[in-house]
Amino acid sequence: MSHPVLRVSDMSVKDRSGTLLVDRVSFSVQRGGAFVIIGETGSGKSLVAQSVLGLLPAGLVVSGRIEFDGEVVDLADRTALRRHWTHHLALIPQEPRSALDPTMRVLPQIAGLGQQHRARATMSSLSLHPAVERQYPFMLSGGMAQRVLVAGALTTDARVVIADEPTKGLDDDRVEEAVSRLRQIQEHGRAVFAITHDIRVAQGLGGQLAVMREGRVLEQGPVDSVVSAPHHAYTRAWLGADPDRWHARKASGSAEPVLEADNLSYRIGSRTLFHDLSLDLCQGCITAVTGPSGSGKTMLCNVLLGLARPSAGTVRWKDGTDPHLVRRPPLRSRYQKLHQDPASAFVPGRVLRRQFADLRSVLPPGYMERDLPSLIERLELDAALLDRRPDEVSGGQLQRIAIARVLLFDPLCLVADEPTSRLDPLIQRDVMALLRKLVDERGMSLVLTSHDRRLMRAVADDVVRLG
């Protein structure tokens, strides 16, 4: 067997109090091979990738060794690790918009002057329109931003590409494309180290698969062996949480609409995202909006909520108000949005509990003591997370905290933009089950945007396809 291009031995991570967050993780990756870690939100899998890069958050301490082509480096030596960036290591980060500078256009962020021709070719191979290179990050959909970061990593000569949730936010076709691009890296003798919720990534890349929970590797071995004959009960439960295995939803909605949209159109310059679109959102019903990245799913949600004005057409809420014509619609607080990127929905640097307390002027008295604890419990969150800042919790945990916040408003209509794209399969199943139950119990209308056609088939009463 060839010498591994990357070997990690006895990696452990502790916090300030000495709590063990990652417990003696060891693995190696061969040239042209792959090592994939799957695990629930907060399992420690992203900490493993951050430790390899020397990017652990302040206050965390790592021990262990890492070996690059025979050169041994102490994992605690961040300066030494960073010398291996671009030559040995490249990163595709988990949060696409947070990783891009909002003040810079796309192309200069992912390639220097000498690499821009190569970057353009890579962006084209990922089905990114040539105009994207001149756009700013806020102009990109979540899936497009993710593909931009993939293009940036592929433009380097790194021998190992670390992909932290490389398919998160991508539609099914783009998932296949992203996995295909990672396989091309392998075909050129470069290795892939992937952190993912998506078992399709592991199956597409092959190599070794590790299953993590609570900082420990529960099961590790060849991908095919782990998937076809898992030994650990947790692995079996994980694989069994696939949306194709969910019980089909039985619609229980009434005919009373909470929103009526007629002949909606939206144009950006010469491009039309959707045209002459009409739909009714009814109480107790789930409507799915699906389509490829950049097809206008998020923009349609913003139009329905009165956050963006359509080029043509009208929107009427339950009380007959057109939210585009009234500055402060009376039902404003009951038409809520769950954002695709939870980090963008919270104030950075401010403790989460204080951000919930900031809602006192728009919520009934006592909500912090009466309503919030039960929501936190139902979403399987530790209440202690509320005493952290947004950047101190995982992306999946922050998404569930965002769900708790919007539910405090008892919405008539909840527009959820990719609400489970950052959640592992087990939590995705549980969160969707909770949202379905809330739709039935509260009679609210739920709009889901998603790239996952399997998820839509499992939960939706009606599907709107864009693009």
- Compute the average pLDDT of residues 269-295: 91
3-class secondary structure for 236-290?
HHHHCCCHHHCCCCCCCCCCCEEEEEEEEEEEECCEEEEEEEEEEEECCCEEEEE
pLDDT at 327: 82
Return the closest-CA partner of residue 143 out of 464, 449, 461, 364. Answer: 449
> Does residue 103 sit within a domain?
no
276 and 223 together in one domain? no
Confidence of residue 384 (pLDDT cuts 50, 70, 90): very high
325 and 379 together in one domain? yes
pLDDT at 440: 87
The phi, psi pair for 125, rounded to 5°, reads -65, -20
Confidence of residue 2 (pLDDT cuts 50, 70, 90): low
Average pLDDT of every residue of the chain: 89
Return the closest-CA partner of residue 333 out of 362, 359, 353, 307. Answer: 362
This prediction has a pTM of: 0.69
Question: Which has more pLDDT, 61 or 122?
Answer: 61
> Does residue 46 sit within a domain?
yes
Residue 296 identity (one-letter amino acid): G
- Compute the average pLDDT of residues 356-369: 94
Cα–Cα separations (whole angstroms), residue 412 to 200, 257, 371, 444: 36, 10, 17, 5
235 and 315 together in one domain? no
- Read off the tokens for 463: 């599907």
Interval 435-459: pLDDT, tens: 888 898 888 999 999 888 888 888 9
271 and 395 together in one domain? yes
One DSSP character per residue, 358-409 reads GGGGTS-TTHHHHTHHHHHHHTT--GGGGGS-GGGS-HHHHHHHHHHHHHTT
Residue 241 identity (one-letter amino acid): A
d(CA 105, CA 137): 7
- Compute the average pLDDT of residues 156-180: 81
267 and 216 together in one domain? no
Q: Which of 119-128, 138-147, 210-219, 333-342 has the lowest mean pLDDT?
A: 138-147
Among 36-50, 248-262, 427-441, the range with the most confident prediction by mean pLDDT is 36-50
Question: Is 80 exceeded by the pLDDT of residue 249?
Answer: no
> Does residue 98 sit within a domain?
no
Confidence of residue 144 (pLDDT cuts 50, 70, 90): confident
> Does residue 318 sit within a domain?
yes
pLDDT at 281: 95
Return the closest-CA partner of residue 59 out of 17, 11, 98. Answer: 17
266 and 229 together in one domain? no
Range of the structural domain that residue 292 is part of: 257-465
Question: Is 60 exceeded by the pLDDT of residue 41?
Answer: yes
Residue 303 exposed, middle or buried by CB count within 10 Å (0-12, 13-18, 19+): buried
> Does residue 84 sit within a domain?
yes
Total structural domains in the chain? 2
What CATH number does the domain containing 207 carry? 3.40.50.300
d(CA 68, CA 426): 35
288 and 229 together in one domain? no
d(CA 263, CA 274): 10
Q: Beta-carbon neighbour count of residue 375 at 10 Å?
A: 19
Which contiguous run of DSSP H or E holds residue 149? Answer: helix 142-155
One DSSP character per residue, 24-75 reads EEEEEE-TT-EEEEEE-TTSSHHHHHHHHHT-PPTT-EEEEEEEETTEEEET
pLDDT at 422: 66
In percent, the amount of the chain with pLDDT more than 70 equals 97
Interval 221-242: pLDDT, tens: 999 999 999 999 999 999 888 8
Q: Crossing angle, helix 395-407 and helix 425-442, to 10 degrees?
A: 0
Strand order in the sheet with 312-317: 271-282, 257-268, 312-317
pLDDT at 424: 76
Confidence of residue 417 (pLDDT cuts 50, 70, 90): confident
One DSSP character per residue, 82-142 reads HTTBTTTEEEE-S-HHHHS-TTS-HHHHH--GGGHHHHHHHHHHTT--GGGGGS-GGGS-H
Last residue of a domain, one of 211, 239, 267: 239
pLDDT at 169: 64
d(CA 151, CA 192): 15
216 and 331 together in one domain? no
pLDDT at 1: 52
282 and 234 together in one domain? no
> Does residue 307 sit within a domain?
yes
pLDDT at 368: 96
d(CA 30, CA 69): 10
d(CA 265, CA 260): 14
Quickly tell me which residue has 């399709």 as its tokens.
Answer: 200
> Does residue 246 sit within a domain?
no
190 and 299 together in one domain? no
Question: Which has more pLDDT, 218 or 417?
Answer: 218
Query: If DSSP codes are grouped into helix, strand and coil, which group holds residue 18?
Result: coil
Cα–Cα separations (whole angstroms), residue 152 to 118, 147, 179, 181, 195: 10, 9, 16, 12, 18
306 and 450 together in one domain? yes
Query: What DSSP designation does 331 have?
Result: T
Return the closest-CA partner of residue 228 out of 254, 259, 198, 203. Answer: 203
The phi, psi pair for 97, rounded to 5°, reads -70, -35
Sorted by sequence, the CB contacts under 8 Å of residue 232 that are 6+ apart come out as 211, 218, 219
> Does residue 36 sit within a domain?
yes
304 and 432 together in one domain? yes
Confidence of residue 188 (pLDDT cuts 50, 70, 90): confident
pLDDT at 156: 82
